[in-house]
Amino acid sequence: MKDVIIIGAGHNGLVTAFYLARAGYRPLVLESRATVGGCVTDETFAPGFKAPLANAIGPLRASVVRDLSLNGTVSFVRPDPHLVTLSPDGRSLALASDMARTTEAIRSFSAADAERYPEFCAVLQRLGRFLAPLLEMTPPDLDSPAAGEMWNLLKAGRRFRALGKKDGFRLLRWGPMAAADLVGEWFESDLLQGAIAARGVFGTAQGPWSAGSGAVLLLNAAADPVPGGSSVTVRGGLTALAGAMADAARRAGVEIRTSARVARILVQDGAAAGVVLENGEEIAARAVVSNADPRRTFLDLIDPVELDPGFLTKARNYRSRGTVAKVHLALGKLPAFTGVPNPADLHGRILVAPGIDYLERAFDASKYGELPKNPYLEITIPTLNDPDLAPAGKHVLSAHVQFVPFSLRAGAQWATHRDALRSIVLETLEQYAPGIRGTVEASQVLSPPDLEQSYGLTGGQIYHGEPALDQLFTMRPILGWARYDSPIDRLYLCGSGTHPGGGITGGSGQNAAHEIAGRLKARRG
Ligand SMILES: Cc1cc2nc3c(=O)[nH]c(=O)nc-3n(C[C@H](O)[C@H](O)[C@H](O)COP(=O)(O)OP(=O)(O)OC[C@H]3O[C@@H](n4cnc5c(N)ncnc54)[C@H](O)[C@@H]3O)c2cc1C
């Protein structure tokens, strides 16, 4: 009989396992893929060419980095400028940590925007600081909050008052607002508006005019209060980070088995009793924690007779529609972007999102099951920070393509649309880096269904569920079940489908471990 089984060795599963081991348990992690890390991995898409699946890391929560001793085992890279956004007129705008440099760059697009940018950064920092502690807490039990939860809410109330009227008002307005309106109140240049609003729609099925895209911007600011988002990566690719996290877990006493797909969670008398693997092996356990997404956990891994029909309906209504594809290119040489004469500026993320209308049109196409003609691209050239990801002198270009529908319009098939998507991405890149097409030696297209197939992401949703206002905090994943628990006794969740949600932060895994350890301890008495 195992102490605790964790289904999935995604980074959150590994973080939960690490903390549970530190709390005195002996977790067994069962991962269906042959490697650990889940989405924290690299795709070897041509001989000698590797592309990290995610372009940037969350960033990881500082306490996770500290506790897993990752600073000693992983080499983090923090490119500065963190973001360069490309303009169709052949120019670009770099957002860097040096405020004078950034405002000077903004001034060539709008003097008024240059004046307002420092204040916007300061507001984002203050609101981010207010929200950050909320990311670290278990969402309160709304029906009967415990004394500790009341205390946390009281503290949040006090901090809210301390924000002052102006920022408090901003916070209340920004959440339900459309990111387009929010940036429109601050800035006039299309390029800057697009760069900042893009964070509000990245990984979502919302356009910049969707109500609530402001909340996604705020959520990002809580973890990373930098306009446009920072661009942390690691040397050795994401595989190096996943390996270091797994090593930290093993050192703490965790057992990890890969190529071990869980087919079913065993339930006895309403409580989790273990799992059955795809090969028929049964493993009994006192508790089961799922790092798989909520829909996969509740709708695929549990016999529906074990869950009440009302809960099953809520689980089916949990939205998990993917809108992201990846295009990886193996390049014979470094591309020359017309608007970015200095290659040193290409080490962070490179954005093709030159305005609100551009983003909204790309979103529009995806609503009708069509590929956007002019896609929102977030590009990195990971070989600039880590030449070992390609053969000497060659480069990898990784394009995150936002607003690519999981389900294509009637009659269209992904089997024939990968080529169309590749062509659209190449055409777009060619506008900003003429000649790039001729340097492509190999490529890979991962559609949303490919992400579902390879990474177990239901609907290809990269965050295990839409980060929308009705699926955040006390409602992530389901109202009444946002505390890492479930209607099945001793069955818990620890993945991105729980608060605070997606991104490579370790936040969900750390919060879940804290909550689960407390509950298991209370049972032991
Ligand atoms: C294309 C893409 C781009 C992204 N870009 C970024 C980015 O730039 N920045 C950022 O911060 N985040 C990004 N993300 C999001 C981020 O990678 C995820 O939110 C995060 O890695 C999820 O971690 P997790 O541990 O919760 O889940 P996962 O990484 O999904 O891990 C879940 C694990 O469970 C396993 N599993 C599922 N079912 C079973 C089963 N039945 N039996 C055994 N194992 C099972 C899976 O194989 C997987 O390993 C991106 C994601 C994708 C897919």
* Nearest atom, ligand 1, residue 11 CA: 25
What pLDDT sits at residue 43?
98
- Tell me the pLDDT tens digit for each residue of 341-373: 999 999 999 999 999 999 999 999 999 999 999
CB of 507 closer than 8 Å to CB of 500: yes
Could you read off the pLDDT of 209-244 as tens digits, one per residue? 999 999 999 999 999 999 999 999 999 999 999 999
If we measure between CA atoms, which residue out of 512, 504, 513, 511 comes closest to residue 38?
A: 504
48: nearest Cα among 387, 477, 519, 500: 387
Tell me how far apart the alpha carbons of residues 147 and 157 are, in angstroms, rounded to a whole number: 15
Alpha-carbon distances of 98 from 101, 104, 119, 435, rounded to whole Å: 5, 10, 14, 32
Cis peptide before 309 (omega within 30 of 0): no
Is the CB of 379 within 6 Å of ligand 1? no
The CA–CA distances, whole Å, from 377 to 194, 205, 293, 369, 410 equal 12, 15, 26, 18, 25
Q: Which atom of ligand 1 is nearest to the CA of 40?
A: 21
**The predicted structure's pLDDT at residue 144:** 83
296 lines ligand 1 (CB under 6 A): yes
Gap from CA of 161 to ligand 1 centroid (Å): 37
pLDDT in tens, 366-404: 999 999 999 999 999 999 999 999 999 999 999 999 999
pLDDT, position 105? 98
Question: For ligand 1, is residue 504 a contact (CB within 6 Å)?
Answer: yes
C-alpha dihedral, 425 to 428 to 431 to 432, nearest 10°: -80
Pairwise pLDDT comparison (421 vs 411), residue with the higher score: 421
How far, CA to CA in Å, does 60 sit from each of 235, 429, 505, 516? 15, 30, 4, 21
The span from the CA of 181 to the CA of 208, in Å, is 8
Tell me the CA distances in angstroms from 390 to 310, 384, 420, one per residue in order: 51, 10, 26
Burial bucket for residue 255 (CB in 10 Å: 0-12, 13-18, 19+):
middle
Residue 266's SS3 state is strand
What pLDDT is stored for residue 149 in this prediction?
Answer: 83
Minimal-distance CA residue to ligand 1 atom 3: 54
DSSP structure string for 33-73: SSSSBTTSSEEEEETTEEEESSSS--PPPHHHHHHTTHHHH
Residue of 266, 291, 377 with the most ligand 1 atoms within 8 Å of its CB, for mutation:
291
User: 494 C-alpha vs ligand 1 centroid, how far in Å?
Assistant: 12
- Residues 40 and 34: beta-carbon distance below 8 Å: no
Separation of CA 199 and ligand 1 centre (Å): 19
| Alpha carbon nearest to ligand 1 atom 50, residue | 54
Ligand 1 contact via 28 beta carbon (within 6 Å): no
Mean pLDDT for 169-173 is 96
**Closest atom of ligand 1 relative to the 505 alpha carbon:** 11
Which structure tokens are listed for 276? 């059955």
Judged against a pLDDT cut of 90, whether residue 205 lies above it is answered with: yes
Answer whether residue 525 shows pLDDT above 80. Answer: no
Centroid of ligand 1 to alpha carbon of 385 (angstroms): 23
Q: Could you count the other beta carbons within 10 Å of the beta carbon of residue 415?
A: 9
Average pLDDT, the chain: 97
CB of 399 sitting under 6 A from ligand 1: no
* Residue 455 CA to ligand 1 centre (angstroms): 7
| CA of residue 10 to ligand 1 center, whole Å | 6
Containing 309, the helix (H) or strand (E) segment is helix 309-317
Q: Whose CA is nearest to atom 4 of ligand 1?
A: 54
Å from CA of 374 to ligand 1 middle: 27
Distance 53 CA to ligand 1 centre (A): 10
Which residue is it, tokens 């050795």? 236
- Compute, in degrees rounded to 10, the torsion defined by CA atoms 96, 98, 101, 102: 40
Tokens 């993917």 locate to 322
Neighbouring CB atoms inside 10 A of 251's CB total: 12
Residues in the chain, how many? 525
459 close to ligand 1 (CB < 6 Angstrom): no
Start-end of H helices in 68-146: 70-73, 99-107, 111-136
Q: How confident is the model at residue 152 (pLDDT cuts 50, 70, 90)?
A: confident
Give the separation between CA 435 and CA 332, rounded to whole angstroms: 12
Q: Is the CB–ligand 1 distance for residue 294 below 6 Å? A: no
Best residue for ligand 1 mutational test, from 245, 504, 505, 511 (most atoms within 8 Å of Cβ): 504
**Atom 37 (ligand 1): residue with closest C-alpha?**
292
Residue 511 confidence (pLDDT) above 90: yes
**Ligand 1 centroid from CA 158, angstroms:** 36
- Confidence (pTM): 0.98
Those residues with Cβ within 8 angstroms of residue 171's Cβ, 6 or more apart along the chain or in another chain: 127, 130, 131, 160, 163, 218
Distance CA 257, CA 241 (A): 18
- Rounded distance from Cα 30 to ligand 1 centre (Å): 15
- Partners of residue 443 on adjacent β-strands: 329
The closest-lying atom of ligand 1 relative to the alpha carbon of residue 30 is 43
Phi and psi (nearest 5°) for 400? -85, 115
The predicted pLDDT at position 99 comes to: 98
Asked if 384 and 346 count as a contact pair (C-beta separation under 8 A), the reply is: yes
User: Hey, what amino acid is at 391?
Assistant: P
Q: Provide Rg for the chain, Cα atoms.
A: 22
DSSP SS3 for 85: strand
Distance between CA atoms of 34 and 257, rounded to whole angstroms?
Answer: 9
Atom 5 (ligand 1) nearest CA: 54
Ligand 1 centroid – CA 282 distance (Å): 25
Q: What is the pLDDT of residue 470?
A: 96
